Amino acid sequence: DAMLDAYDKFIKKGGKVIFAGGNAMFKLVAMDENRISLMGDVSSALRRKMTGAINTGVSVPLYAPFQVLTPEHWIFQGTNLKEGATFGAASSNHNPDSPYQGVSGWEADQGTSDASGFIILAAGKNTRFPSHMLFKQTREGGWIFNAGTIPFGGALFADPVISKIMLNLLDTKKP
């Protein structure tokens, strides 16, 4: 509970949060000077509120690129992507010999209609359970970004658009 309270206070102070993977905030843990203990699962309602998404299932095909839905968002500045363009075709998280490549998949998190204020920036081209790249601007001037997929981190080095998205997120001059 202390960790969730700290997150909430950070957001209310205009904090900016990057979830650069999938299945964010899944388990509750407690720690003391001797160990870290598993306390249970974070409820899906709380995950939706804090990350904008829940894990909906295994993607089919397992991996696919993302497709841009909101190219006007500042997160895509400097990428020259238009609506419908694809990116994230490669990630170092996968076996390069696999017939399926792309950033969307593995742990595919999707936004839900009750995840208040989150918009879908891009969606995976998977036919079932595509990942959603989500963003929420907070009233306090901060924001929450959720990549919605574990292979996002491995794509930082494999895909120039994913790299630029991360650089935009880390740019302190951006909103």
pLDDT band at 11 (very low <50, low <70, confident <90, very high): very high
86-133 per-position pLDDT tens digit:
999 988 887 778 777 899 987 788 887 777 899 999 999 998 889 999
pTM: 0.90
What pLDDT score was predicted for residue 1? 67
Nearest C-alpha neighbor of 104 from the set 121, 91, 117 = 91
